[in-house]
């Protein structure tokens, strides 16, 4: 299978003291840069804010900045991330689901691509109402909040459901998988139908991160 799968390194997996050097070690071999934004409340961790997106945009003017907001109140920050240079913003379905549809529209009006994130306890059925306006559907294969966790197998089933729905309904979203992806399971995840793979700790923990992405792409290509 030769379908082009995109690789989105999660900078959360990089040494916080040298994020720029970690990105440079990829030698441009990535497709998107994935930013995990955490508020310490929606998830039990804190990360970074719009200034990180701004700094990345300044240093990597052509990069696709893929922002994953793990926030109770994404409305307080989505416009600031768009102004900072975010290319795409995905918000969690579990944060005030009654506001989700309008949230996606607002992000698109502000000038970025918009999407929805499903934490492991959320079903595809629960987000069906926003699929017509989603540019991305991010399926989390770990509990949101931390890198380095093993993936939950059932997330692949959601990916397969999303592929089916997209073809039946003619939706346009890309399907992204986030959590525990590494060389050993990337091809299987891609084969289930994921279009974009987030890779954090496995990638930045590797002695040769640029080679690691190349090997993931090879594995996908072979399968």
Task: Point out the residues that are catalytic.
Answer: 36, 178
d(Cα 9, Cα 204) in Å, to the nearest integer? 8
From Zn ion, ligand DX5, none, which one binds at residue 197 (CB under 5 to 8 Å depending on kind)? Answer: none
Query: Is 68 or 169 the residue whose CB approaches ligand DX5 more closely?
Result: 68
From residue 91 to residue 130, the character string flagging contacts with Zn ion as x (rule: CB under 5 A) and all else as - is ----------------------------------------
From ligand DX5, Zn ion, none, which one binds at residue 148 (CB under 5 to 8 Å depending on kind)? Answer: ligand DX5
From residue 134 to residue 173, the character string flagging contacts with ligand DX5 as x (rule: CB under 6 A) and all else as - is --------x-xxxxxx------------------------
| Closest approach of ligand DX5 to the CB of residue 170, in Å | 29
- Assess contact for 79 and 108: CB atoms under 8 A: no
Stretch that binds Zn ion, among 34-42, 47-55, 87-95, 108-116 (CB under 5 A): 34-42
Instruction: Select from 139, 192, 198, 216 the one that contacts ligand DX5 (CB under 6 A).
Output: 198
Task: Name the nearest CA neighbour of 12 among 208, 202, 207.
Answer: 202
Q: How many Cα atoms occupy the beta-carbon half-sphere of 88 within 13 Å?
A: 25
d(Cα 223, Cα 221) in Å, to the nearest integer? 6
Strand runs (DSSP E) across the chain, as ranges? 6-9, 32-38, 64-70, 88-92, 113-118, 136-140, 174-178, 196-199
Query: Is 78 or 201 the residue whose CB approaches ligand DX5 more closely?
Result: 201
- DSSP assignment letter at 156: H
d(Cα 125, Cα 128) in Å, to the nearest integer? 5
Q: Is 68 in the site for Zn ion (CB under 5 A)?
A: yes
By CB under 6 A, how many residues form the interface with ligand DX5?
22
């Amino acid at each position: 299978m030769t379908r082009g799968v995109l690789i989105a390194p999660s900078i959360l997996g990089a040494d916080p003291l040298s994020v720029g050097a970690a990105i440079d070690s990829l030698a441009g071999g990535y497709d998107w840069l994935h930013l995990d934004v955490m508020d310490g409340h929606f998830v039990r961790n804190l990360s970074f804010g719009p200034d990180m997106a701004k700094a990345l945009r300044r240093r990597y003017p052509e990069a696709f900045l893929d922002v994953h907001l793990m926030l109770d109140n994404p409305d307080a920050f989505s416009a600031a991330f768009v102004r900072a240079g975010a290319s795409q913003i995905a918000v969690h379905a579990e944060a005030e689901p009654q506001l989700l549809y309008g949230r996606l529209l607002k992000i698109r009006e502000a000038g970025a691509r918009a999407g929805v994130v499903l934490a492991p306890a959320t079903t595809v059925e629960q987000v069906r109402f926003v699929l017509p306006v989603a540019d991305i559907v991010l399926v989390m294969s770990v509990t949101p909040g931390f890198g380095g966790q093993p993936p939950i197998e059932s997330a692949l089933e959601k990916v397969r459901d999303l592929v089916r729905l997209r073809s039946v309904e003619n939706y346009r979203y890309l399907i992204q998988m986030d959590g525990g992806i590494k060389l050993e399971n990337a091809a299987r995840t891609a084969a289930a139908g994921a279009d974009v793979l987030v890779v954090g700790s496995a990638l930045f923990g590797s002695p040769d991160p640029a080679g690691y992405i190349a090997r993931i792409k090879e594995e996908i290509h072979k399968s």
